[in-house]
């Protein structure tokens, strides 16, 4: 099923959680980004279009301004994401540069999705970029948002972006290979769920734990994202992004994931 979803999709949104982008020292894993860029090139060569939603500005920022790492003040946190966003995009740019693929940055906020004029402009910009073979990389504009007016997690940002761009498929790369009936990190007997057609049923029966170290949403925000996109007829896959060739593996059914399918 997952292989069919990948092979049939032309417009794919791929979201990376911070856990996927960080190496074991908590820095941006540049080798990983380089490998993923090659994977994106392979998708583009097959006539597909890719939009990336990338977390990681905070961890990239901490790599540069490590003395700010423990500051809890909101202004420092926003300043840190402003510094980190540059580092993050530099890491992405360097990954795509050897392949002669340009990237573009879009920093969005919740308001951008509720204002029809802004939505139209974002949509046109995305269409123009991908038509020109450029890979747009979206993140939430954390420096201008406070909690009350934030989307708050990139799972939902990926879902909103996918709806806005009329994507065919969303892939959420996480540190977990899909949805389980309970958190497998706490319960070794947790059972993997390969396919979800009725989200309400699943939400009532699945035990949703908390997010881990860098994660902002945990599995709950991934389910919210799935609910958003399937209501627009867009399927969504949650899978482990540890292998930068994960999309290729998924396209051969060589990697597990959970597919959320429109009813
Ligand atoms: P990311 O940074 O990739 O967005 P998160 O840390 O926010 O990832 O969320 C993924 C984590 O959610 C998993 O590592 C897992 O520990 C936790 N989790 C809690 N409940 C579940 C569940 N029922 N199925 C899968 N993962 C779960």
pLDDT tier for residue 217 given thresholds of 50, 70 and 90 = low
Ligand 1: centre distance to CA 195 (Å): 17
- Summarised one tens digit per residue, pLDDT across range 140-163 is 998 888 776 789 899 999 999 999
Please say whether the dihedral angle defined by the alpha carbons of residues 77, 83, 88 and 91, taken in this order, is positive or negative: negative
Q: Provide the domain count of the chain.
A: 1
Q: What is the pLDDT, as a whole number, of residue 214?
A: 47
* CATH number, residue 71: 3.40.1160.10
Find the domain containing 202 and state its range.
2-260
- Summarised one tens digit per residue, pLDDT across range 221-234 is 999 999 999 999 99
pLDDT tier for residue 213 given thresholds of 50, 70 and 90 = very low
Ligand 1: centre distance to CA 209 (Å): 7
pTM: 0.95
Q: Which of 236, 49, 214, 262 is nearest to 159 (CA)?
A: 236
Strands 236-240 and 257-260: antiparallel
Looking at ligand 1, which atom is closest to the CA of residue 219?
Answer: 12
């Amino acid at each position: 099923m997952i292989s069919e979803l990948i092979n049939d999709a032309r417009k794919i949104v791929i979201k990376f959680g911070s856990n996927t982008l960080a190496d074991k020292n908590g820095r941006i894993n540049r080798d990983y980004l380089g490998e993923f860029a090659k994977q994106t090139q392979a998708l583009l060569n097959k006539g597909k279009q890719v939009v990336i939603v990338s977390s990681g500005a905070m961890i990239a920022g901490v790599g540069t301004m490590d003395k700010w790492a423990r500051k809890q003040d909101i202004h420092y946190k926003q300043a840190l994401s402003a510094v980190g966003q540059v580092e993050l995009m530099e890491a992405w740019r360097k990954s795509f540069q050897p392949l002669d693929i340009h990237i573009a940055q879009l920093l969005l906020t919740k308001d951008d999705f509720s204002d029809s004029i802004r939505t139209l402009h974002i949509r046109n910009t995305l269409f123009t970029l991908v038509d020109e073979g450029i890979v747009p990389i979206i993140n939430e504009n954390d420096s201008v948002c406070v909690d009350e007016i934030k989307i708050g997690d990139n799972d939902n940002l990926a879902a909103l972006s996918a709806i806005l761009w009329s994507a065919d498929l969303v892939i959420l790369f996480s540190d977990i290979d899909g949805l389980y009936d309970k958190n497998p990190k706490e319960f070794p007997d947790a059972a993997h769920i390969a396919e979800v057609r009725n989200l309400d049923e699943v939400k009532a029966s699945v035990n949703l734990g908390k997010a881990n170290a860098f994660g902002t949403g945990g599995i709950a925000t991934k389910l919210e994202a799935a609910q958003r996109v399937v209501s627009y007829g867009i399927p969504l896959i949650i899978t482990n992004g540890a292998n930068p060739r994960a999309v290729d593996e998924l396209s051969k059914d060589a990697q597990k994931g959970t597919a959320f399918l429109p009813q």
